[in-house]
Amino acid sequence: GERVKVRSYPEILETLDQDWKNRGMYFDGELVPFCNNEYDVQHRVEKILDEKTGKMVRLKSEAIILKDVAGEGRITKCRLFCSRAIYPYWREIWLERPAGTSAMGNDK
pLDDT tens, residue by residue, 38-57: 999 999 999 989 889 999 99
Mean pLDDT of the chain: 83
pLDDT at 105 over 60: no
User: What count of other Cβ atoms lies within 10 Å of the Cβ of residue 72?
Assistant: 17
DSSP state at residue 102: P
For residue 74, name the pLDDT band (cuts at 50, 70, 90): low
Q: Output the CA–CA distances (angstroms, integers) from residue 108 to 7, 12, 84, in the order listed.
A: 14, 10, 30
CB–CB of 9/20 below 8 Å?
A: no
Which residues have CB under 8 Å from 76's CB, separation 6+? 28, 29, 30
